[in-house]
Amino acid sequence: MFPGINHHDELRRLVVRQRGTIHRDQFRALAVSPDYVTSQVDARRWTAIGQNVVLLQNAPPLRDQLMWLAVLDAGDDAALGSHTSLELAGFKGFSREATEIHLIVQRGSRATPMPGVRVHESRRLRLDDIVHTGGLPRTETARSVLDAAAWQPYPRFACLMVAAAVQQRLTTATRLDAAMRTVGRIRHKAYLRLAIADVGAGAESLGEIHLAHLCRKFGLVPPTRQSRRKDLSGRWRYLDSEWDLPNGEVVVLEIDGRHHLEVVHWQADMKRERAVVITRRWVLRATVFEIRLEAAAVFSDLRAMGVPTLAELSASRRAIAL
């Protein structure tokens, strides 16, 4: 499979395990002379990557080989992190971030620049944070989720990362909450705390969303009726709010406490929504994160549906009084 190692059984087993990559110190530990390594590189059977590691082929490295090259070069106190760690854990649904390999090293450590590898220095990378998958060191899943979320440019996508990781059963809200206590200052921290609370227990409806407060903030009358409901698993998931419009119609706002609902919940909710629409109610749906992060857009849509403003309500009351 890899040229130049057939005569050395122990070296061959190591190279197979490490996907055709090896550190020069490993050559020395196996009594492979530096001159032999140099001859293979000069003959272009092997490829030297920087000063420390060798790829036992002359073709460009595959993705998993590049992961090995990065961690071998960086040493024992480095680990694959963020999106790359989650990739190894089985996370589904990456975008362009997955094309780069994320390597986390201790602050002040040196790593050979490699195309396709992004190096992140960290003051808080501890041995307890590192686990191994297929022999590759990576940061523990909960920390990886928080790193990937914090490196997102927008808080909405950071919250989605948290929700998706829990939904895919790669970690739990409890583990994420514990990891949040050790991460220090990171981007979107306040939003991530709310997201972890949401995926752990569902939306806390009135006490957490403060819908009436938001109505006042955006100048709309508060809903006429509000209620929480349980999903098929018996957990609180939704907040229903209804407004009676002056023309006799009713607008219903449903706030979903989680993204990426399981199919069985999503299908049941579609059936329920049809039942609401049959009663001549207009249904608008929003996620709890939209209410927190994009409330202006949601309340603009409510206004467009005819929900009256506080000013209109006041004017109407004055007219009735006269």
What is the 8-class DSSP label of residue 309? B
What pLDDT, on a 0 to 100 scale, did the predictor assign at position 22? 97
- N- to C-terminal Cα distance for the chain? 93
What pLDDT, on a 0 to 100 scale, did the predictor assign at position 36? 94
Taking only the tens place, the pLDDT of each residue in 248-283 is 888 988 877 554 444 445 556 666 656 555 566 788
* Higher-confidence position of 278 and 99: 99
pTM tops 0.75: no
Indicate the average pLDDT of the chain.
83
- Degrees, nearest 5: CA angle 72-74-80: 80
* Highest-scoring range by mean pLDDT, 90-104, 191-205, 214-228: 214-228
**From 51-60, 124-133, 311-320, the region with the lowest mean pLDDT:** 311-320
Could you give the CA distance from residue 55 to residue 46 in angstroms, rounded to a whole number?
Answer: 6
**From 70-79, 161-170, 187-196, 221-230, the region with the lowest mean pLDDT:** 221-230
> What's the whole-number mean pLDDT along residues 297-314?
90
Take residue 29 and report the two structure tokens written for it: 């530990």
Contact 14, 6 (CB under 8 A): no
Could you give the CA distance from residue 228 to residue 237 in angstroms, rounded to a whole number?
Answer: 8
> What's the whole-number mean pLDDT along residues 217-224?
90
What pLDDT, on a 0 to 100 scale, did the predictor assign at position 266? 53
pLDDT interval class at 203 (50, 70, 90): very low
Taking only the tens place, the pLDDT of each residue in 141-184 is 999 999 999 988 888 788 888 888 988 999 999 999 999 888 87
What pLDDT, on a 0 to 100 scale, did the predictor assign at position 260? 40
What pLDDT, on a 0 to 100 scale, did the predictor assign at position 263? 43
> What's the whole-number mean pLDDT along residues 203-218?
64
* Higher-confidence position of 292 and 78: 78
Q: State how far the alpha carbon of 76 is from the alpha carbons of 65, 103, 146, in Å.
A: 17, 12, 22
What pLDDT, on a 0 to 100 scale, did the predictor assign at position 156? 77
What pLDDT, on a 0 to 100 scale, did the predictor assign at position 261? 43
- pLDDT over 80 at 215, yes or no: yes
Task: Specify the 3-state DSSP secondary structure of 120.
Answer: strand
Helix, strand, coil percentages for the chain (3-state, nearest 5): 45, 20, 35
Q: Which residue intervals of the chain are DSSP H helices? A: 9-17, 24-29, 34-42, 63-74, 82-89, 141-150, 155-167, 173-180, 189-201, 205-209, 211-217, 263-278, 288-293, 295-304, 310-321
